[in-house]
Amino acid sequence: MVGKLFGTTGIRGTANDFLTPEFCSKIACVFGNYLNEKFNAKNVLVGMDPRTSSDMIRTAVISGLLSAGCDVYDSGITPVPSIQYAVKEKIYKFDAGIMITGSHIPIDRNGLKFFMPDGNEVYGKTEEEIENIYFGNKFKRASWNEIGKIYTADAGKIYKEMLLKEGVKVSKEDALTIIVDTGHGAQSNVMPQILRELGHKVITLNAQMDGFFPGRPSEPDKKNLENLMKVVRALNADIGMAFDGDGDRSIFIDDKGEYVMGDMVGAIIADYLMRKGDIVVTGITTSAIIEYVAEKNGGRVIRTKVGAADVVGAIMKNNAVFGFEENGGSIFPTLNLGREGGLTAVQILKILHEKKKDLSEIIAEYPKFYQIKEKIQCRDELKNKLTAAIKDRIKIEMNNTKIDETDGVKIYFSDGWVLFRPSWTEPIYRIFAEGKTESRAKELIEFGRKIANEELNKLV
């Protein structure tokens, strides 16, 4: 029997319910077998986030790898991008990696991310191959004389060296006051130190690692960063930055204490990196500001389905210079094949330093776009039917309109867009609208809601 273990990213579940030591050990042994057979690879780097269940899962994962004959390089608590980077760069002959992380999901849950020898996360076909081995019990245990060994490693140290190399060290006069909220997560070990070494004045929030997340939940969204915004204002800081639990995403607060959307940060970095003919990749839901930036630089935007795996896949396929998601995950493919909270922070500081401007001044140089998100209740079995019905209706009623069917249905207008897209994690259907003015965005979301509700009513 073949079942499904992998979700949108890696394997996730409730600790000690789905993610038991038995399960984690078995899946790690399966991954070890896969590495042995496909790549003749055996050196696996292991890291974890600071969740209460991470130690239990880590030791189970290590046992499973050892029993497959893999040698394990145990890196303890460290950000996701540090594992991914060390594997990609083949530092100390690491062949592959496993990260134990619940990222931003609720605190009773956790997850496993697997990294291939090229540094890319396991996804798509590879997930199926691993599931086939798991459910078919088609894996071997090493004989007594081939069981692996455990070594200690420090992926965080390797990662810090890269960040320092990519960053700009500033003099005392150019030092910024930075408030860093690492959200009790894995970047607490890395980012405050890096920012200080780059010459800045750093004040930390929630920088003690704690799987109970007492200061704030690990998702760095606007409501969870109220405190950071207040502190940036109260201390008159130059910038605030926040990370998710495993440090692959970062969100910024400008010098006025305003929350900056990930779309905006992605656009600023793309604008800095893009040269004529360059390609930048982003999901279907991000702001049209990136089209403005690409046009300005003589480059091109490729839109993908929502999710980091799709963005990374399209980056590699099209040899893109940069990719990003609106949730604060940016990808710098020459350095790391996954979302990079740390590099994004270092890159933004480099841009501020070169332009000698505040973040709010840089943002003000770009046209403003207004985005509104809505959701309606919709059962899973109706979702694809609803998407098809909306598509048919648009094609009949607005047959000259540009439509994108990459993920749901996106309708383009001259001054905005509307996207209809089912959620596959909750019983809801999402509607997004963006316009060049707030009133246009409201009109478009109104239009979207009306169509979605009318079509849904015909189906139920």
Q: What is the closest distance, in whole angstroms, from the C-beta atom of residue 265 to Mg ion in the complex?
A: 16
Supply the DSSP symbol for 288. Answer: T
Nearer to Mg ion, 32 or 183 (CB): 183
Binding footprint of Mg ion on the chain (CB under 5 A)? 103, 244, 246, 248
Nearer to Mg ion, 248 or 263 (CB): 248
Q: What is the closest distance, in whole angstroms, from the C-beta atom of residue 108 to Mg ion in the complex?
A: 17
Nearer to Mg ion, 238 or 244 (CB): 244
> Whose CA is closest to 412, among 284, 294, 311?
284
- The β-bridge relationship of strands 416-422 and 409-413 is antiparallel
Q: What is the closest distance, in whole angstroms, from the C-beta atom of residue 286 to Mg ion in the complex?
A: 18
Catalytic one of 103, 250, 287, 330:
103
* Dist CA 58 CA 100 (whole Å): 7
Per the annotation, the verdict on 103 as an active-site residue is yes
* Dist CA 460 CA 453 (whole Å): 11
> Whose CA is closest to 124, among 279, 285, 307?
307
Q: What is the closest distance, in whole angstroms, from the C-beta atom of residue 185 to Mg ion in the complex?
A: 9
* Dist CA 46 CA 103 (whole Å): 16
Encoded tokens for 223? 């409501």
Q: Please name the amino acid found at residue 449.
A: R
* Dist CA 281 CA 311 (whole Å): 6
* Dist CA 219 CA 56 (whole Å): 23
**Torsion, CA 67, CA 71, CA 74, CA 75, rounded to 10:** -140
Residues 6+ apart with CB under 8 A from 240: 178, 179, 180, 181, 225, 228, 229, 231, 232, 252, 253, 254, 257
Q: Which residues are tagged catalytic?
A: 103
